Structure 1
Amino acid sequence: MKSFSQGRKKAYEVCEYIYLAGTGAAGLLGWINGLDSKARWLATRPILWSAIEYIQERSVYLYIIIALMVCFSFFYRRFGDPWALEKIQFILDEYQGKVFAANNAPKDHDRVTIFKHQKNCLLARHWSASKWYMPWGDRPAFSNYLVPYLRSGHMSKKSSAIFYAPDGSDKAEGVAAMAWARKQSVVVNDLPEIRSTTSKRDIDKYSKATKCDKGLLERYQKEGRQPPRSIAAIPIERKGELWGVVVLDSRSPLGVTNHSVENYTLTVALIGHLLEKA
C-alpha cells in the first residue's frame, strides 16, 4: 500500500532542483570544454586556466555523474508527487468521517480503501495460495488483480486483501471486482454476520451476494475474523480511463448504503484527478 512521509516530500523537492541544476551544469560543462588557453582573457590567468584544464580532463566523468543524477531525479519524480498522495489521504479520511458518522464504531470497522487494477501480477499473493513459490494460488499466474493502494485512517494499513479481476466478468472476485467489471457502482448491504457459529446457509448467502469464495469465508471463521456486513465499490477513472475502485466497507449491516455512493460522486471524481499526479 502506498505511503508518504515528510522525508519523501523533501526528497521530491530536492529532485526537482537537481533536475534543473543538472541541465544547467551540463550546459556549463559544455561551455568549459569549448574554452582554449589561447583565448585573450585566459592568457593572463594561468591559475584559472589550470582549473579549467583540470575540469576538461575529467569532463567525461562529470557528464556521467550529472546524467546519473538527472536520471535518478526524473525517475524518482515519476513515482508521483507526495503532495497529491497526502491530499488523497485527507479526502479518504474526510470521506470516512462523513459516510460513517452515524455508526459510532471504531475507525477500523468502517473503512474507505482505494484499490488499483494491476495487470499480469506474478507476486501478488492470493488468499488461496498454500505454497510460497505459487503466490497466485488456484488462480492462473500473471493474472489481473485489484490491489490495495491507499486506505483511510491510521489503522489497518497493512492489508493483504486482493481481488481477482480478469477480463471476464463471470470470474471476477468480490464486490470490488464486480464494480470494476461492470464499470458502475455496486452496493451490497445487510449481509449475514460471519462468526464461528454461522450456518452454511448464511455463508452461502454471503458468498453469493459478494461473489466471495466460500473457502475464504470458512478461513475467516477459523481465524476469528469478521468480514464486513455492508460493502460499496465505486470505479475510479484516471485520465479518462478506468484505473481502479474505491471500496467502502462496514461491519454494520446498513453502514454502507446507496446514499454513501450517490452523495459523494464528486469526491470520487476528485480522487481520480489527484491520481494523475500521485
Structure 2
Amino acid sequence: MAPLVRTGGSRHTGLAALPHRNIQISNIAKIRKVLYVNQQPIGKTPRSTVISYLGIYDNIRQLFANTEDAKKTGLSSSDFSMNISGGRCESCQGTGKKKIELTYLPDSYIKCPECHGRRFHDDVLEIKYKGNNINDVLDKPIGEVKDLFNDVESIRSVLQCMEDIGLDYISLGQMSMNLSGGEAQRIKLAKCLGAKTKGKNLYILDEPTAGLNSKDIELLEKILLKLNQENETVLIIEHNIEFISHVADYLVDLGRNAGNKGGETIIQGKPIEVVRNVESSWNNIIN
C-alpha cells in the first residue's frame, strides 16, 4: 500500500486504483508527504550508524569545525567525519572496531587496538565542543548529549524526538546493524518527526508495537496521539488489541483468513461501531 500511496501523492493525481481490487484511494493530492515506517533494517554494515541515518552528522561536524581550537589547528568539518580519510583512524576506518572473521560463525568485532575504539586521531580528539570531543558525542547515550545542542534547532528537534520515543539510551555512533527491528522502526519515526513539516502528512506504520515492552508502547501511543493533534493522518497495521483500543478513532477490520483467503473488509467505522457488530472479529474477542 505504501508504494501505491507514495506514487499517487507525488504525482498529485488525486486518485489511485489498487491493483486486482475494486478499491480506490481518493484525495491523495491533499496529502503533502507519505512516510512509511516499518521494521526493516536501516543499515547492514559498520559504516551505517544512527547519526548518519538521522541526518544530523554534517551539522554536528560543522559545530566542531567552527570552534576556535579547530580553526587554529586548521581542522575542517571533514576531519570530524568517521567516513572520510583525514581525521579518522585509518586502521579501523573510523568505526572504532576491527572485524574478526570466524569460520562457520558470524563475524565478530573487537575494539580497534590502534585508536582504542576512539575512532579519530589524537589531534582531532583534542578539539572540544562544550567540553566534549567528537567521539564523546558519538559514544555517549543520546540522553547525555542532547542538551549540548539545545541552541541548534535542526539537531535538538531530532534528538528530542529520539528521547520522546524512548530511545535516549542509544548512542549516535551505534552501528545500525546492531539495532533491533523495533528500535529501527522507532528511529525512522523519530527522523520523520524531527524533520517534518506539520500538517497533511500521512504516516503508515507496519505493526509498530512488535517487540516493544509496555513502557515503550505507552511512549509510542503518546507520540501518535500528538501527531493526531497536529492534524496528521496515521494509518497503522496492527494486531495488538489493547494498543488499537487506545489510539484508534477509526477501524477497518480485515479478514477473515490470511493470505489469498483474507483481505476482505468485514466492517469499518468508529471503534464502538466495530465492537458492537456481530460480524466483527473484535466482537468475538470481547464477548
Q: Using structure 1 for the length normalisation, give the TM-score.
A: 0.23
Higher fraction of helix: 1
Tell me which of the two structures has the higher relative contact order, counting C-alpha pairs closer than 8 angstroms and 6 or more residues apart.
1
